[in-house]
Structure 1
Amino acid sequence: MPQRAATIVGGGIGGLAAAVALHRKGWRVEVLERAPEFTEIGAGISLWPNAFRALKALGLAERVQALGAVETAGGVRDRRGRWLSRTDNTELERRFGHPLAVLHRADLLRALAEALPAECLRPGSEVSAVHEDGPRMVVEHRGGTSRCELVVGADGLRSAIRRAVLPHAPGPRYAGYTAWRMVTEPLPEPPAAGAATWGRGERFGYTALPGGRMYCFGTASLPEGTPTGSSEYAEVLRRFGAWPDPIPALLAAVPADVVLRHDLYELPPLDTFVGGRTALLGDAAHAMTPNLGQGACQALEDAVTLAHCLDTHPDTGAALRAYDLARRPRTQAVARRSARLGTVGQLAWPPAALLRDTAARLAPVRATLRSMTPVLGWQAPGGPVTGNETETETETH
């Protein structure tokens, strides 16, 4: 039987994970990335138990976990620094079988890229056109022309593949707030637990990275495209520099030139994630706000599920319909939940913020963990997709 070929447009986390999953199912894959190299700008990334199940299916869970820091505790504080809720993440691991880990986005991307043969990776290959030619797809790009049975659109929030396949689909919409992300220098005594601090129309959070560094983020409700003053670092200091400890000390350990700022967007629900012999995954299909830390986790789930559907349905059309049915309801539900959490976290009217804080203080921790079961309890379909490679792990349920 001839080897099936897939062209993946976009070399981020979702695109590389899809390439790994399909490669280990016997597909010939190439990943077209418009940038001159496979890298990831950004800061920290949270990987929850569902992401580790997807990584386990790819044979990469142990390796990726070794690159990160396991967060053992966390919680939410109010603007005065008082705890509204606290979470023992060992209970999360006991309940869901895997930990919550935080690592740098670039480290995850590198682990995925290194799981592929070098010839699969084609940087500097911006796509200019995608169309059908009989039973095959044709992808025209800066490096030439690719012919394949399957195109995977993993090219992010403003996906060109989505526009080509679903020309009438809605575009991204502004979530109503902007975000700053940054990583500190190594600290002699990092905070023992991560936390998110809720203000009024603003939030600030931090969590541990390996090597004594901390990943920090801040949000503020602002009109889309609001300019900053002299520098993003100065703006972060102005907004959060007098917040409760340890936030001032963390900001003092942030190099002034590493603060990233992005307005946050989400993708309105699509009617389908597929068109012809093209599948969308990750942000191209369901870009969501980062409030649940599930963006990359859902992309990893997409990749594993897509490979499983293609393996169990020899007909590509049937496989893509099964993928759409499996992924669209789930990812859109997660996106809605993330949006709701962001709306609550960004409340600015004092009586509403007080009511929010009171409700958070009274909510039982176990109820919070139970409420996360629909998100974190996902199981990879069909078992590992690792071919001849195996990874031995003990999973507790």
Structure 2
Amino acid sequence: MRIAIVGYGAAGQSAALFLSAQGHALSVFEQAAAPGPVGAGFLLQPTGLAVLARLGLHEQALATGQRISRLYGCNDRGRCVMDMRYADHAADCFGLGMTRGSLFMLLRDAYADASRIHTGTRIVSVDPAGDWLCDSEGCRHGPFDLIIAADGAQSALRDMAPALVRRQPVYPWGAVWCLLPGECWAHVDVLQQRYGGAREMIGLLPVGRRVDRDGRWLTFYFSLPGAQLEGFDAAALDRLRERVAVLWPEALPLLASIDSPQQLNRARYRDVQLRRPAQGRLVFIGDAAHAMSPQLGQGVNMALLDAAMLADVLAEDTTPAAALRVYGQRRRAHLAVYQRLSRWLTPFFQSERDGLARLRDLGFGPLARMPLARSQMLKILTGTKMSWWR
């Protein structure tokens, strides 16, 4: 088949690898003139690692990233709110902290046709027949048997299919983030968080190596109301330091290299839910289909799983229309769990609802010590909670 992939992030990259291996004729479009990683470091779960293993990239990912064995979070009074260990799910289980740059380069270098990507090409619409694409310069591309929209949370193509969209609001909270040298950080295999009610959340995730620097690195993030992100200035940076000093004194020395607010990146999140992922020849994958808040850390994993499943159904010797129906059916239950839980959990960690923060601090720890609840929480963490019932 002639297939177009719009967007060259994790979803588009992994789809390109799977589908090129099946012999399809691919045209990949990326709006950036020089494609590269966008976003903070992330935690790759066992589900995402399994997809990389299918692509033959598992060992390279392990060599680049940092194994994470534990997720630990406490509030401003030192009370443990969250303490989950991957080994409690399975003896050989772990997450992998990575930088976006490392994953981008890993997937790009594995794609033999990376030099033929249509860069600097912003696709803005699909023609009414559904087999041609139009870019921002008015040029048409096609025809295609299948169009894969992997153009992220701010997807332009999603706006061309309003009948599919159930919801896509922007979350009122976001975060500032950066990469920090981690050689002196003692907690090399733990994702740690500190909470100041539901209004403040600080995180440090070991992410292994960068593609452009030596040493080991950490992703630092600090949640803020969305309105404060746009005006994040020197005074806001000083307030951030003050709050880190109060909430997490051990982490404050790590910020010594940050002397300008421009060194901190801004992140906003969108809650995207589609009624179904496909319309005609057009199918949405990754954040274009199901962007969510980062509370469960599943964005990259879901993108990789989408690409693998789409390739699987296309390989089953069926028509594109039938394959897309099957794709939607097979991904529905897994996505529904994580979309609903992400939406439900976010106010406990990023909101002005102090009562929810108190409930979280009192209840999450004891709940996690109950065997049945703990096993379900570990399934959610590892990305292996495939439906509400299993």
TM-score, normalized by length of structure 2? 0.86
- Which of 85, 95, 103 aligns to 2:98? It is 103
Q: CA RMSD in A?
A: 2.5
Q: Measured at CA, do residues 351 and 311 of structure 1 come closer, stay the same or move farther in structure 2, by a change above 3 Å?
A: closer
Q: 2 CA distance for matches of 1:166 and 1:59? A: 37
Q: 1 CA distance for matches of 2:385 and 2:355? A: 37
- Which of 252, 255, 269 aligns to 1:264? It is 269
Q: Secondary structure at the match of 2:131?
A: strand
- How far apart are 1:232 and its partner, in Å? 6.0
- Which of 287, 290, 294 aligns to 1:290? It is 294
- Which of 84, 87, 90 aligns to 1:87? It is 84
More deviation, 98-107/74-83: 74-83
Q: Secondary structure at the match of 1:41?
A: coil
How is 1:165-180 mapped onto 2 (pairs within 5 angstroms)? 165-166=161-162, 169=165, 172-180=168-176
User: Is the Cα contact below 8 Å between 1:16 and 1:31 reproduced in 2?
Assistant: no
More deviation, 231-240/199-208: 231-240
- Which of 26, 30, 41 aligns to 2:27? It is 30
Aligned length: 371
Q: Which has the higher helix share?
A: 2
- How far apart are 1:152 and its partner, in Å? 0.2
Q: 2 CA distance for matches of 1:250 and 1:224? A: 23
1:161 aligns with 2:157: yes
- Which of 322, 325, 348 aligns to 1:321? It is 325
Q: Secondary structure at the match of 1:7?
A: strand
Deviations 1:46-87 (A, max 9, x none): 100111122222222222222100012231111133433323
1:371 aligns with 2:377: yes
How is 1:1-397 mapped onto 2 (pairs within 5 angstroms)? 4-94=1-91, 98-117=93-112, 118-131=114-127, 137-141=131-135, 145-166=141-162, 169=165, 172-192=168-188, 193-200=190-197, 201-210=199-208, 211-221=215-225, 223=227, 227-230=231-234, 233-254=237-258, 256=260, 257-267=262-272, 269-346=273-350, 348-365=352-369, 366=371, 367-373=373-379, 376-377=383-384
Identity of aligned residues (%): 24
Q: Measured at CA, do residues 296 and 102 of structure 1 come closer, stay the same or move farther in structure 2, by a change above 3 Å?
A: same
Q: Measured at CA, do residues 313 and 329 of structure 1 come closer, stay the same or move farther in structure 2, by a change above 3 Å?
A: farther
More deviation, 329-338/12-21: 329-338
Q: 2 CA distance for matches of 1:357 and 1:253? A: 32
Which residue is 1:388 aligned to? none
Residue segments in structure 1 that go unaligned for 5+ positions in a row: 380-397
- How far apart are 1:352 and its partner, in Å? 4.0
Q: 1 CA distance for matches of 2:178 and 2:162? A: 35
User: Is the Cα contact below 8 Å between 2:125 and 2:133 reproduced in 1?
Assistant: yes
Q: Secondary structure at the match of 1:242?
A: helix
TM-score, normalized by length of structure 1? 0.85
Q: 2 CA distance for matches of 1:352 and 1:196? A: 17
Residue segments in structure 2 that go unaligned for 5+ positions in a row: 209-214
User: Is the Cα contact below 8 Å between 1:130 and 1:138 reproduced in 2?
Assistant: yes
